[in-house]
Chain A
Amino acid sequence: MSAEKELIFELSKPGRVAFSLPENDVPDRDPSELLPEGMIRKTPAEFPEVSELDLIRHYTELSRRNYGIDNGFYPLGSCTMKYNPKVHEDVVRYPGFAKIHPYQPEESVQGALQLMFELQQDLAEITGMDEVTLQPAAGAQGEWTGLMMIRAYHESRGETKRNKVIVPDSAHGTNPASATVAGFESVTVKSNSEGLVSVADLKKVVGEDTAALMLTNPNTLGLFEREIKEIADIVHDAGGLLYYDGANANAILGKTRPGDMGFDVVHLNLHKTFTTPHGGGGPGSGPVGVKSVLSPFLPVPVVSKSEKGYYFDADRPQSIGRVKAFHGNFGMLVRAYAYIRTMGPDGLRQISENAVLNANYMMKRLEEHFEVPFPQYCKHEFVLSGNRQKKLGVRTLDMAKRLLDFGVHPPTVYFPLIVDECMMIEPTETESKETLDQFIDVMVKIAKEAEDHPEVIQEAPHHTLVKRLDEVGAARKPVLRWEKSNQ
Chain B
Amino acid sequence: MNLPKEFRYSDEHEWVKQEGGNKVRIGITDFAQSELGDIVFVELPEVGDELEANSPFGSVESVKTVSELYAPVSGKVVEINEDLEDSPENVNTAPYEGGWMVVVEMTDDAGLEKLMDADKYQAMVSED
A: which residues have CB within 8 A of B?
Answer: 173, 397, 414-415, 417, 420, 471-472, 475-476
Contacts and interface: CB of A to CB of B under 8 A. Distances in A.
B38 A472 contact: yes
- Chain B interface size, as a band, is 10 to 19
17 contacts: A173-B66, A397-B37, A414-B64, A414-B65, A415-B65, A417-B65, A417-B67, A471-B38, A472-B40, A475-B38, A475-B40, A475-B41, A475-B61, A476-B40, A476-B41, A476-B88, A476-B89
Given A476-B88, A476-B89, A397 B64 contact: yes
B65 A471 contact: no
B63 interface: yes
A472 B89 CA distance: 10
A414 B37 CA distance: 12
Contacts, number: 23
Interface string B18-35: 000000000000000000
A476 B84 CA distance: 11
A52 to B, nearest CB: 40
A223 B128 CA distance: 22
B126 to A, nearest CB: 14
Interface in B36-55: 37-38, 40-41
A79 B40 CA distance: 26
B35 to A, nearest CB: 8
Interface in B65-87: 65-67
A464 to B, nearest CB: 18
A472 B67 CA distance: 16
A457 B38 CA distance: 19
Interface of B: 37-38, 40-41, 61, 63-67, 88-89, 128
Nearest to A414: B64
Contacts of A417: 65, 67
B65 A475 contact: no
9 closest residue pairs by CB, A with B: A475-B40, A472-B38, A471-B63, A414-B64, A476-B40, A414-B65, A472-B63, A475-B63, A472-B40
Given A417-B67, A472-B40, A475-B38, 8 more contacts: A173-B66, A414-B64, A414-B65, A417-B65, A471-B38, A471-B63, A472-B63, A476-B88
Contacts of B88: 476
A397 B61 CA distance: 16
Contacts of B41: 475-476
Most-contacted residue by chain A among B40, B67, B128 (CB, 10 A):
B40
Contacts of B65: 414-415, 417
A472 B39 CA distance: 8
Contacts of A472: 38, 40, 63
B128 to A, nearest CB: 8
Nearest to A477: B40
Nearest to A176: B68
Nearest to B68: A188
A100 to B, nearest CB: 43
A185 to B, nearest CB: 10
Nearest to B64: A414
Contacts of A415: 65
B40 to A, nearest CB: 4
A414 B65 CA distance: 7
Nearest to B67: A417
Nearest to A396: B64
A330 to B, nearest CB: 35
A397 B67 CA distance: 18
A415 B41 CA distance: 19
Contacts of A476: 40-41, 88-89
A476 B113 CA distance: 37
Contacts of B64: 397, 414
A392 B53 CA distance: 37
Contacts of A397: 37, 64
A471 B65 CA distance: 12
Contacts of B89: 476
B85 to A, nearest CB: 11
Most-contacted residue by chain A among B37, B61, B64 (CB, 10 A):
B64
A417 B68 CA distance: 12
A414 B63 CA distance: 10
A173 B88 CA distance: 23
B51 to A, nearest CB: 16
A414 B61 CA distance: 13
Nearest to B92: A472
A415 B67 CA distance: 12
Contacts of A173: 66
Nearest to A173: B66
Nearest to A186: B56
Contacts of A414: 64-65
Nearest to B88: A476
A77 to B, nearest CB: 15
Contacts of B63: 471-472, 475
Nearest to B86: A476
A386 to B, nearest CB: 12
Nearest to B35: A420
A5 to B, nearest CB: 24
Contacts of A471: 38, 63
B21 to A, nearest CB: 32
A475 B67 CA distance: 16
